[in-house]
Structure 1
Amino acid sequence: MQFLLLGACIYGAYALFGTPDDEESQRTVYISEAQITNLSAMWEKRWNRPPTETELVGLVRAYMREDILYREAIAMGLDNDDHIIRRRLAQKLEFLTNDLVQMQEPSDEELTAYFEENTELFRAPDRVTFAHVFFNPDSRGDATLDDAAAALERLQAAGDPNGEVVEEGDRFMLQNYFVEASELDVRRAMGSGFAESVMQLEPGIWHGPLPSGFGTHLVFVNEFEPAPPPELADVRDRVLNEWRRVQTEKFDAEFLESLKSRYEIVIEAPEAFTDSVLEAGGKVREVAIPDGPPNS
């Protein structure tokens, strides 16, 4: 209901402050003090200084010229079937409605409830410290997996490497030791499949062989540090931004539904698209596809 009230506010404000449609107003170019102030502010934001009097006069003249040309273009129908103009106007309405939603502030109770329902979104990443030994399939060929399996037996017998260099495997172009790395850190270096596997390994023993985009690896996890549950006070800004994003999506959906109720939507579509069109809220008009070329 609150979203529908916001939508009503948009149209109410437009009715009060929007441009009238009578012919006289369409022939009047009115540049308000607020618009001049806005032109000056945009100049200052771009050039890091306020405009001079001469520059401000130039800005007003440019705005006047643009407004006149815009009105004449609309009068000539140049906006018809222009996808760029249509998309831009739709975006302006979206920006307006989104700004209204962003102005909303949830109560402490609402924000706390949202946080408790979505705690995992705000949890810090788990961390892992591990070493790995690389086996290069380019140089070892079909023997890669057998070599890795044999090395795994030797490493398991030796136990914890205690940070010492392991005399096994091949030279690796990146790091062989990761300290307190998140899954994202490992993914960026080694690939998603390898990272996902490493985060699930038991600490204190050697594992493998594990594949990556580079080749085959043996992995020793020194320590796995699960992230503690987040506290609302520590992530409040993130929670608020996410709450606003969700509210904006809800408002967009409800606002569009309220607008669609004012229109009869007819979509000419072949039979294969009928279900999709109906889900979109339209009425289907069957299209008769001619067997041959149209009569000349």
Structure 2
Amino acid sequence: MKKLIKEPLLHFFVLGALLFAIYSLVNKNTDEEEIIIDNSDIEHMIELWQMQWQRPPSEDELQDLINKYVDQEVMYREALRLNLDHNDEIVKRRLAQKMEFLGNDLTTLVAPATDKNLKAYFEKHKENYATDYNYTLHQVIFTADNHKNPVAKANNVLDTYDVSSSESLKEVGDKFPLPYTYSNVDAFYLNRELDENFTKQLSSLRIGEWSGPIMSGFGVHLIYIEKKDNPRIPEFASVKKQVQRDYEYQMVLDSKNAILKELKQKYKINIEADNISSMLKQELAQNASK
């Protein structure tokens, strides 16, 4: 029971229910024919004006802003009376976004990005923050432009030359605008320089001798790995900002899914369209109810 009380999603639902209840109560007691403009409305108008014009509005300009606000509010309320928001995709999308924003605000209250929460998230997902492999290596390349069978050429070189010296193959490869030596570079850099397929093959190669061949988009390579640093888990402090971004995104995603799941319980999904298969109808209805 204590564990349930400490559960953030439970806090979220309680806080959300309270907020919606207060909202309903406030709206129930508000006369729809009365348009109230309070201090917060005026301050908001002034802030928007200052953002656009880099100065506060004059009295006449502020009066004009108030008049436009009233006109917009009247037209908005009358549009609702006429049900003009019905089946309007733009209105639907905007209102759905506002519900999401409301959920996001609640998330920051029930699951704030405190050091305790961030460290717990980091411990659970620390592999996501591991550093890449880091290499110092030498490479030579054989291309299809220069060899009928570049793989056979690379294997022949391995059989013919001394593979224990990092300099023994320096003049053997094709002339190509790639460096012979990559010094202290990580896998991310090599992904950009060559390609991801090339980098993936490096981790299985032996250190201190020429080996391969391995492929890239440029051709066939022989590789001499002089030094390889394996991935490591960094200290929390060094990746805290990235952890916070990931944590906040995940909390928003989790709360959004939790809200939708809870709200969908109120609805029965019945797909009556006749231009899709019965199997697809059933699958769509099941997914919508999840």
Query: Per the shorter chain, which TM-score range?
Result: 0.7 to 0.9
- Is 1:118–2:125 an aligned residue pair? yes
- Is 1:63–2:69 an aligned residue pair? yes
Contact 2:268 2:289 in 1 (8 A): no
Q: Which amino acid aligns with 2:278?
A: E
Identical positions, percent: 29
Aligned position for 2:285: 277
Number of paired residues?
275
Contact 1:4 1:258 in 2 (8 A): no
Tell me how far 1:235 sits from its aligned partner: 2.6
Mapping 1:124-163, distance limit 5 Å: 124-140=131-147, 142-157=148-163, 159-161=165-167
Contact 1:3 1:254 in 2 (8 A): no
Tell me how far 1:9 sits from its aligned partner: 3.5
Tell me how far 1:13 sits from its aligned partner: 4.1
1:26-78 per-residue CA deviation (whole Å, 9 max, x = no partner) reads x433333212222332343455x233325444443443343333333333333
Q: Secondary structure at the match of 1:266?
A: coil
> Closer, same or farther in 2 for the Cα pair 1:225/1:56, shift >3 Å?
farther
Mapping 1:163-242, distance limit 5 Å: 166-242=170-246
Aligned position for 1:251: 255
Contact 1:7 1:255 in 2 (8 A): no
Taking the aligned partners of 1:66 and 1:181, their CA distance within structure 2 comes to 59
**TM-score, normalised relative to structure 2:** 0.81
Q: Secondary structure at the match of 2:224?
A: strand
Tell me how far 1:225 sits from its aligned partner: 1.4
Q: Secondary structure at the match of 1:124?
A: coil
Taking the aligned partners of 2:16 and 2:88, their CA distance within structure 1 comes to 26
- Is 1:10–2:14 an aligned residue pair? no
> Closer, same or farther in 2 for the Cα pair 1:263/1:182, shift >3 Å?
same
1:253-277 per-residue CA deviation (whole Å, 9 max, x = no partner) reads 2211221222233223632121342
Contact 1:128 1:182 in 2 (8 A): yes
Tell me how far 1:211 sits from its aligned partner: 1.2
1:119-175 per-residue CA deviation (whole Å, 9 max, x = no partner) reads 1122232312222212221332x23222222233355446122xx991122232344
Moved more, 183-192 or 233-242: 233-242
Tell me how far 1:116 sits from its aligned partner: 1.8
Contact 1:115 1:232 in 2 (8 A): yes
Q: Which amino acid aligns with 1:130?
A: L
Aligned position for 1:74: 80
Q: Secondary structure at the match of 1:12?
A: helix
**TM-score, normalised relative to structure 1:** 0.79
- Structure 1, unaligned stretches of length 5 or more? 283-296
- Is 1:52–2:57 an aligned residue pair? yes
Taking the aligned partners of 1:231 and 1:167, their CA distance within structure 2 comes to 43
Contact 2:163 2:209 in 1 (8 A): no
Taking the aligned partners of 2:64 and 2:184, their CA distance within structure 1 comes to 58
> Closer, same or farther in 2 for the Cα pair 1:213/1:262, shift >3 Å?
same
Tell me how far 1:194 sits from its aligned partner: 0.8
Following TM superposition, where does structure 1 have runs of at least 4 consecutive aligned residues deviating by more than 6 angstroms? none
Contact 1:127 1:225 in 2 (8 A): yes
Taking the aligned partners of 1:20 and 1:188, their CA distance within structure 2 comes to 60
> Closer, same or farther in 2 for the Cα pair 1:266/1:178, shift >3 Å?
same
Taking the aligned partners of 2:25 and 2:176, their CA distance within structure 1 comes to 69
Give RMSD over aligned pairs.
2.8
Taking the aligned partners of 1:232 and 1:35, their CA distance within structure 2 comes to 43
Q: Which amino acid aligns with 1:257?
A: K
